[in-house]
Structure 1
């Protein structure tokens, strides 16, 4: 178990969702972090970020983080919708393995770049979900993957609690200006109202 940091220790935390919402289950990480932001309020030392497919543009965010949680769709070869949590030194072991997602190489390059700069987060947790379909252009998350958003968020909350972070359920809906994704690409507008034109 990771010890709870004291208030005098640096504890900047990044909760990151990566993926591409245009390719069905590839959007799992983005939709998970979007839902996390919709459900929970976090302290000022926690940043919630839709990383999309930004690749090396994420370096600055990782440099500023002491601890990192990543939500992503990853091909582990498991049953569709199955979650797998990987921590710390276990994460880089996937480098050079079969391609796990459309943007995997880009994110591994981000981790490598931050590591070379000596600024890699001290603790890294990857919460991955086995996709069913990564080739449905414009399609929504499949049901087995969509059904794992809530359990994935529970895992994220457990990790944050281990790190001494109190996550509070929101008592009021977010205003439109407070949403993580806007311009009708949020989950409700983009996926729940049917396939985009």
Structure 2
């Protein structure tokens, strides 16, 4: 995912306005695993926020995100989480329950790394005063080069509405975006933007995403 420029880091605690970090984690190359990053992408495309609000494409950066968590007064997280629910169903987890929950419900390596980030923030006594995880049950993640499944893409709209309501309550001052974003300003890679990613990827029959039968024979053909 896109490296975070040094001048876009969250403001250190102590500023007059409480620092708010909005973080999307996951891998857009593995279908519904990209839910969190797609939420951040959509938020930036649709809204403008107060200067003390930072949107971060956390991708799979793991421990590299610790400074942002430690510096945040309030932290909003979007992620795909295996809750054992119906695909597309949302679940909210708050405050001290977030690191414990992510440790018990690991779905991929990035969640293991991010649980360590949260626990490190707790151990250093620099854990945000308020944390909310908006998680979505994925339908499919074992699809390299795939995109969000329709049910998860639809759930993203509800997740964004919940996120914006939370940010408004936290004083983030969300307002419909008036000025178009440039490629330089986007927190996610413009080359991997959802519309571009879906329209330019090759079809499955020319770029197998689930394993090539020529090199992974079935039991019958072995």
* TM-score higher than 0.5: yes
Deviations 1:25-84 (CA, angstroms, capped at 9, x unpaired): 000000111110110000000000000000000011111110000000000011101111
Deviations 1:68-104 (CA, angstroms, capped at 9, x unpaired): 0000000001110111111112213315424234421
- SS of the residue corresponding to residue 132 of structure 1 reads coil
2:178 aligned with 1:139: no
Q: Which has the higher contact order (CA 8 A, sep 6+)?
A: 1
Select the structure of larger CA radius of gyration: 2
Does the aligned pair in 2 maintain the 1:139–1:195 contact within 8 Å? no
Match 1:173 to one of 180, 196, 202 = 180
Does the aligned pair in 2 maintain the 1:73–1:101 contact within 8 Å? no
What 5-or-longer segments of structure 2 have no aligned partner?
1-14, 208-222
Does the aligned pair in 2 maintain the 1:56–1:107 contact within 8 Å? yes
The separation in 2 between residues aligned to 1:124 and 1:101, in whole angstroms, is 21
CA RMSD of aligned residues (A): 1.8
The separation in 2 between residues aligned to 1:116 and 1:100, in whole angstroms, is 24
What 5-or-longer segments of structure 1 have no aligned partner?
1-7
**How far is 1:115 from its partner?**
1.4
Does the aligned pair in 1 maintain the 2:52–2:172 contact within 8 Å? no
Deviations 1:144-175 (CA, angstroms, capped at 9, x unpaired): 11111221111011111221221001124322
Q: TM-score, normalised by structure 1?
A: 0.89
Q: TM-score, normalised by structure 2?
A: 0.80
